[in-house]
Amino acid sequence: MTIAELKKLLKAGEWNDIEFKEARMDVPKSAFETVSAFANTHGGRLVFGVAQRGESYEITGVEKPEKVQNDFLSVLHADAKINHDVSVTEQKLPIDGKMVLVFQIAENGRTRKPVYLDGDIRRTFLRKGGGDYKAQMQDIERMLRDSAVDRWDGQPFDRVAFKQAFDVSTLGWYRNRFHQVNTGFDARQSDRDFLYHWGFLIKQNKRFLPTRAAIMLFGSSLAVHQLIPRPTLDVQFLGYSTGDALPETRWIDRIVCEDNIIQAWEQLVTKYRFFMPKPFRDIDPVTLGRRDDPPGFRVFREAAVNLLIHQDYGDHSRKGVIKFFRDGIQFWNPGDVFGDDLRLWEPGEKEVRNPSIAMALRRIAMCEQAGTGLRMMREAWRKLGHPAPHYKNDRAGKAFEFFIPELDKEVDMASDLVKAMFGDPAQPKAQVEAQEAQVEAQVKLSKWQLDVLSACSAGEKTARELLLVAGYRSRTGNFKKGLQRLVVESFLGPTLPDKPNSRLQKYRLTAAGRQTLSARRGDMQ
């Protein structure tokens, strides 16, 4: 880190990858909580010698830098303090006669998480926004599942008798496609021999037990429900854009898939064919895509199959969700992506959460080869003239979100579903304009503004606290204008109206804001 970089960071304030501590004479105990939080999420820099003054930061310096640095590193590497080794790079930075200590804390790999303190796994911390938060037990369980050497999808399943474990039609579908793509294998094998050969059965004491991967791919409805007590996939078609306020009708059409992965995929493709404008005249029996493999469908297929492959199926409180907005398609997955975020676009094999499921679908060419999918989606979507898809890999929340923008430019009015989402071009112009005027007259708040109102319903908040709620790194023009609008339109009231720029200024929810928030919550129910 350079002096110029540090000064720039001081103006921006603390965020998910930077934490300031005064540490004038000693190492603060909270520094080790930050180490745990950084190591469990995306890594970051811990800076000693900086004090917070209100909402600003001031370089105060470390008076005994050698002592403080040695104390910090020796305690950090002591067996009793932290359960896993953490990679730390230290740096001394002299500024205006004062010494600042900078420690770069690297993220730990999945097999060395969770990182916790004092031998107590309950003292596991996560980095969210600009703070360190104690992990909940469900957060810790997600990290423990991902840290296991034996992956979730490779473990045996014995809750259902073997003869009731598989859906015959699904397994037959898969085997037909497998032998079309992979010539030279004996198609006359029994189903049991085929599954055992490819690692979907485990032999224990003369019994054949299916793996969890086998159940998720080919399992009967009974077996799937015994394995995961939640849907495999939730698909929603929404008649509004991502930045719009929630309308009275939350979704126009929806399918909730509660069967195996292949059945979920077939249901999804059927709905996609109905939704998208260009009819699928010639279907590839292997990939369920068009033989001419249009780039738009290829991108959608890769994103959807990735969602089915990489879910944390051991997480029974969340499910994979695909949302068709007016302005794009959002894919949300329980379970983050392993590896360096900055290298996800790069080619090359990457570690996956469910390797058996991933290989099974790659063997029948339902998805790109390992390490090429994200890159293909970005390039193919760009070639169609759209902005590149973007993603958010949330280490703290153990979730992954992928968004394909500008869906509205890829659809026409081919179906009633599309008309419901995008409007009917045959509708009289005057009627359309009247409806648009009515919509414009309604108060529309963005998602982050609604989140701000919700946060203030719990009590008065400072601008900095609302900045974190809104998800901004610094006070951008968008945030300032959006917050000002909430005040001007009386959704929020300042606690010090005569001193708008006071560092003690806070914001409270007004009656109008409470009414708006209540109405929005009612729409969501």
Element (H, E) at 91: strand 88-95
- DSSP letters spanning 356-410: HHHHHHHTTTSSPPTT-HHHHHHHHHHHTT-PPPEEEEETTTTEEEEEEE-GGGS
Model pLDDT, residue 425: 61
* Beta bridge pairs of residue 94: 99
Model pLDDT, residue 369: 67
Please name the amino acid found at residue 473: R
This model's pTM is above 0.85? no
Residues of the chain where predicted confidence (pLDDT) is lower than 70: 277-295, 348, 369-372, 412-415, 424-444, 518-525
Q: Strand, coil or helix: what is 505?
A: coil
Is residue 474 packed enough to be buried (19+ CB in 10 Å), middle (13-18) or exposed (0-12)?
Answer: exposed
Model pLDDT, residue 295: 61
**What's phi and psi for 66, nearest 5 deg?**
-65, -45
Domains and CATH numbers, the chain: 3-147 (3.30.950.30), 152-227 (no CATH), 233-416 (3.30.565.60), 447-524 (1.10.10.10)
53 within 8 A of 169, measured Cβ to Cβ: no
Model pLDDT, residue 422: 75
Model pLDDT, residue 9: 84
- In 3D space, the residue among 270, 370, 363 whose CA is nearest the CA of residue 310 turns out to be 370
Model pLDDT, residue 485: 85
CA 86 to chain CA centroid, Å, is 25
pLDDT in tens, 348-407: 677 889 999 999 999 998 877 665 678 888 888 888 889 999 999 999 999 999 999 987
Take residue 242 and report the two structure tokens written for it: 């991502």
